[in-house]
Amino acid sequence: MRTFDDVFELGLYSNECCNQELIFDEGDMFGRCPRCQDLCHWVLEAKITRDADLEPALV
């Protein structure tokens, strides 16, 4: 995913230029690198699950 692409999945993303990590949510737009401000590629490192998407625990 590149700078200015739409985000399709909530998760922790890292960029390739400066290895910065940011959380982007579905519907966000990938931004420039927060360190060098260049255009960059973002890689999904870890998916994040919202509490509302979890099934209730059986008690």
State pLDDT tens for residues 1-59: 999 999 999 999 999 999 999 999 999 999 999 999 999 999 999 999 988 777 776 76
**Is position 59 within any domain?**
no
Whether 1 is covered by a domain: the verdict is no
User: Is the residue at 29 inside a domain?
Assistant: yes
Q: Is 15 among the domain residues?
A: yes
Q: What pLDDT shows up at residue 51?
A: 82
Residue labelled with tokens 């994040």:
48
Query: Is 30 contained in some domain?
Result: yes
The answer to whether residue 43 is domain-embedded is: yes
* In a domain? residue 44: yes
Domain that holds residue 18: 11-48
Domain count, the chain: 1
Q: Given CA atoms 39, 42, 48, 50 in this order, what sign does their dihedral have? A: positive
Contacts of 17 (CB under 8 A, 6+ apart): 33, 35, 36, 38, 40, 41
Give a yes or no: residue 28 inside a domain. yes
Residue with tokens 């509490």, as numbered in its chain: 51
